[in-house]
Amino acid sequence: MDILGIGNALVDIFCFTDDEISPALGLYPNAAAHVAPERMDELLLAVTRPIPVSGGGASNALKAAATLGSSCAFVGCTGTEDRESDRWARIFERDLAAFGIRASLERRAVPTGRCLVIRMPGGMKAIACAPGAAPTLRPEQIDPVLIADAKIVHLDGQVLRNAELTDRIANLCRSLNVPLSIDIASADIARNRAGLVDSILRNNQCVLFMNEDESHEFSKAIAPTGCEGTLFSSYTENESRKTCIVRKRGAAGAQAWIGGEMIDAPSATAVEAPLDDTAAGDCFAGAFLNQWLAGGETGAMLETANAFAATVLGVPGSDIPPPARPAIG
């Protein structure tokens, strides 16, 4: 196996509308809200032509990597109804299987996590998330055999909210000499879990992904008066651990620190009217990891990841065509 992904198993549900409907639903434009599963059921009855797509940071990344040829597996939690996988769990499993991704899922007696993304005129969007079973991963769920079988483990940054779970994954990766990749996922995680990430960077072989907001928050937490570039260079200058820090910059491209040096890769593809950007950063990470495992020049890895992320801007979430390979299941 090339990449083992661990994280939130979610179904992203997209609604594209010509009306500014979010206030009528009790949602604020350009804001996200956590809601109860029952409230999510009500919202889904109120929107038209919903498009469900498997989501969550790690699974989105795996779909990108699998499209480029990586063999992947995923560990997470989904929900049940009448002691069987609920309809959303089945959607999630089918979608991953179409990409050849093997899913190791524990069931919970709550609904599968769902995220509703409403796209409105003027580039506005409203998001409602009912995490459900997604954040209920247990440390005991992480099988050392799966870790040992992977060339790299990719962690959804939301997992960092669970320090015990993160410690188990990082310790297993370190003891088994398996690199650990983390996509920070949000600015508040970068700020509030900076110490945990700092420890992983100093003790594991690590590939760390952050967007610009996340990198600023992380840097301020670790070195309030220092320079981001100097901090990132210090983490990566030990070439024996091959640690790499990648800063995703959206339309501006990306930067990577490796071997104590920074490589800049502006985006070569301008997307004037993106349909949706929900999964672009996740898929950038997956495409980069595919190239990182293949080896080669860092700038070329960034360019491939930039180009892949640009294509994802034209679809809802990570609703990219599955690769031409036999599906699982």
- What is residue 111's DSSP assignment? P
If phi > 0 it is left, if psi is from -120 to 50 it is alpha, else beta; for residue 6 that is: beta
Question: Domains in the chain, ordered, with CATH?
Answer: 3-7+55-104+134-312 (3.40.1190.20)
If you search the block for the tokens 């779970």, which residue do you land on? Answer: 165
Query: What is the share, in percent, of the chain residues with pLDDT greater than 70?
Result: 96
Average pLDDT, the chain: 91
* 8 A C-beta contact, residue 180 and residue 173: yes
Cα separation, 99 vs 120, in Å, equals: 30
CA atoms within 13 A on the CB side of 225: 0
Which residues does residue 125 pair with via DSSP β-bridges, in sequence order?
119
Cα separation, 143 vs 154, in Å, equals: 14
Which residues does residue 261 pair with via DSSP β-bridges, in sequence order?
258
More confident residue, 129 or 23: 129
Q: What Å distances lie between residue 23 and 12, 30, 167, 213, 276, CA to CA?
A: 20, 11, 41, 27, 20
Query: What is the share, in percent, of the chain residues with pLDDT greater than 90?
Result: 73
Residue 329: which pLDDT band, with cuts at 50, 70 and 90? Answer: very low
Whether the predicted pLDDT of 59 surpasses 70:
yes
Whether the predicted pLDDT of 17 surpasses 90:
no
More confident residue, 4 or 321: 4
C-alpha radius of gyration, the chain, whole number = 19
pLDDT tens track for 242-251: 799 999 998 8
Q: Which two tokens stand for residue 268?
A: 């070569």
Whether the predicted pLDDT of 328 surpasses 50:
no
Whether the predicted pLDDT of 125 surpasses 50:
yes
pLDDT at 46: 86
Q: How far is CA 265 from the centre of its chain?
A: 21
Q: DSSP characters for 103-155?
A: EEEEEESSPPEEEEEEE-GGG-EEEEEE-TTTT---GGG--HHHHHH-SEEEE
Instruction: Quickly count: other Cβ atoms within 10 Å of residue 114's Cβ.
Output: 27
Alpha helix stretches (DSSP H) within the chain:
37-46, 57-67, 87-98, 144-149, 163-175, 187-192, 194-203, 212-222, 228-236, 280-294, 298-312
pLDDT tens track for 160-212: 999 999 999 999 999 999 999 999 989 999 999 999 999 999 999 999 999 99
Which pairing describes strands 206-211 and 180-183: parallel, antiparallel, or unpaired? parallel
Whether the predicted pLDDT of 42 surpasses 60:
yes
Whether the predicted pLDDT of 214 surpasses 70:
yes
Residues in Cβ contact with 192 at an 8 Å cutoff, skipping those fewer than 6 apart: none
Which residues does residue 10 pair with via DSSP β-bridges, in sequence order?
55, 113
* 8 A C-beta contact, residue 304 and residue 70: no
Which residues does residue 72 pair with via DSSP β-bridges, in sequence order?
3
pLDDT at 240: 63
pLDDT at 242: 79
pLDDT tens track for 266-299: 987 777 778 888 999 999 999 999 999 998 899 9
pLDDT at 182: 98
Which residues does residue 105 pair with via DSSP β-bridges, in sequence order?
76
Whether the predicted pLDDT of 255 surpasses 90:
yes
If you search the block for the tokens 């994280």, which residue do you land on? Answer: 7
pLDDT at 83: 84
pLDDT at 326: 43
The whole model's pTM is what? 0.93
Whether the predicted pLDDT of 327 surpasses 60:
no
pLDDT at 321: 86
